[in-house]
Chain A
């Protein structure tokens, strides 16, 4: 409908425009009518002129009779009159020419107006014709559109119909498939259930066997662990006993070792004479596994060269240091504190 309006709009606008144009034309046509009154006035003037000439002629005859008396004045009046007549003639001629010209122009104007009226009528007719054509065209187009719309609707209806048909067929197909699948699934489930049942039966049997085996094994483990615990306890007791024994042996061996080194170094120590009392000296001694002194380092000097030297030489002179009865008490490094008490 909107489309239709859109199409009608321009036509309506055209009609309005033409109507306006036509009214303007009507107005234009009226105005020359007003002008026409002037020539009617001119016609009355012309009539007046004609009456004067008769007057004049009457006057002339009266005067010619009087002229006899006054010839002289007559003659001069004659000259003046002639002059005036000439003047008048010329003026009349000009007026005649002017009137002729006026007439011609009036005729041309009348012709032109006629022509114009004809042209306008033709134009109006053409416009009317055109309007009619346009209306017919519009009607045709509306009809055409209606036809096309009807056609489109028909096609759409046709398509809907076909689609509905297709959908129906599809629905039918799906339904069939679903039914088939459901059937298959039911069958599958049934088979699966059957299989599961069989398997679980087997599994249960297996489990039972396994549990029995496990129970037997656990029992065996428990017995073994108990035995192990007992054995360990015995071993620990034995080890403790041995350790205590060894500790005692070790302590004794260490004591002996220290004593042996002490006396060996003391035996080899020549405390120098002539040094002040109260000197102390600490040395770090490194020995190899045979007791051979490898290095003697004074870590805390007594401050007295002779004393320090005697300490270092005591350790070196005692080399090789006594070896322990037990290897375990051996120490590679020994710190000696030389601290004479006298």
Chain B
């Protein structure tokens, strides 16, 4: 009878399409499953010391970070908000099929001023009760609380996906605001990756364009129109120190730091038509990479620093993407052949993909992704005027500017295009976002 069972199990296992032998055990293949963001619960971080409650909800920031990644679905209604492991009612979470639970607390920092906090958190697997991550930040100033929340988000993200997060990073962007008397003010801003804690770097009645991060995250290069003509500026974030890089007649545009931080690629029209140049930042020496009557602009460095991709109309009419060695030796190689407009490229951090603005010749400018060496492209947004895409330093999200109802805003999209979310920046017009490189500290 027992033998018979085994035979049947084998038959059923074969029928079920199971591969490989597994005697003494049923083999069951699971081919279906609801594809969704992973459920997670972030309990409210409690105030663990005497005195008033925490001024800012760290747990809310963490939940928003995780949600914005598109890979997690933080639970909205929580059955409990435990502060310590002993208070966790595991069965509640298991019943809700929430496999991950974050708890934490904020309290007065020990042996520090009244305005310093300590923050701690723990991440649990609710099915096994195992702690997957956990840390205490012993001394946190009030204005550092958001940053600590992003750091915690990165740690949770790493524990659950095995990949580095990009929450504790920053974005630079330009806002356009109308003053009381109708005059327009342009502002260069830097904020946390979620748009929080914005800091104004520069305000001008003249346009500001194309901010670009130095690889160490300490400098921004951008295009200024102060005085009515374009020039490329560099500004140190920590000190506000500014420095003019170029101020040639004509176009000075689209600065891009090389991956080693020693050079700057840019567009100059001092020879007539806009061409791609590379400047040695130490010596100020310029080297021209492209020539000809066509427009060549928006250079982007490959992560290995060996090639540049740029936008050019040299193929006749509409702009396409071309690649050229950073040494300048060699003719530009056309990369895009799909659609009538491909421009403003940026490399993914691993160098395998390009993200750019794409128009299929129907007037809708959308963000598209293309694998290097593969001509087929994948459009990942569905706006009408999406522009300035920039990769998160972990390569999982793409930040871009989108215009809806006449107002431009920032949005993030997962690289497969399946998850999109607006960033909460309440300005009239937000443009030219640039995601910082990976930052270990603020």
Contact = CB atoms under 8 A, between A and B. Distances in A.
Chain B: interface size category: 35 or more
A317 B99 contact: yes
Interface in A215-273: 243, 246-247, 250-251, 254-255, 257-258, 261-262, 265-273
A334 B28 contact: yes
B283 interface: no
Contact of A342 (B35, B125, B160): B35
A247 B8 contact: yes
Interface stretch (B14-22, B190-198, B310-318): B14-22
Nearest to A267: B34
B37 to A, nearest CB: 5
B24 A333 contact: yes
Given A273-B70, A274-B396, A333 B34 contact: no
B440 interface: no
Interface stretch (A39-47, A133-141, A302-310): A302-310
Interface in B117-173: 125, 127-128, 160-163
Given A271-B36, A317-B97, A258 B26 contact: yes
Nearest to A295: B128
Contact of B99 (A247, A254, A257, A309): A309
A338 interface: yes
Contacts of B128: 316
Contacts of A274: 69-71, 161, 396, 414, 416, 418-419
B24 A306 contact: no
B50 interface: no
B419 A273 contact: yes
Contacts of A340: 30-33, 35
Nearest to A337: B29
B39 interface: yes
B238 interface: no
Contact of A336 (B29, B69, B97, B418): B29
A182 B396 CA distance: 127
Contacts of A255: 12
Contact of B160 (A267, A305, A317, A337): A305
B5 A337 contact: no
A266 B30 CA distance: 6
Contacts of A337: 18-19, 27-30
B25 interface: yes
A339 B30 contact: yes
A36 to B, nearest CB: 152
A162 to B, nearest CB: 99
A250 B7 CA distance: 12
A324 to B, nearest CB: 10
Given A305-B160, A306-B71, A316-B99, A265 B5 contact: no
B9 interface: yes
A329 interface: yes
A342 B30 CA distance: 12
Nearest to B38: A272
A255 to B, nearest CB: 7
Contacts of B241: none
B29 A339 contact: yes
A185 B44 CA distance: 123
A313 B69 CA distance: 20
A257 B12 CA distance: 11
7 contacts: A266-B32, A270-B36, A270-B97, A272-B36, A306-B38, A337-B30, A339-B29
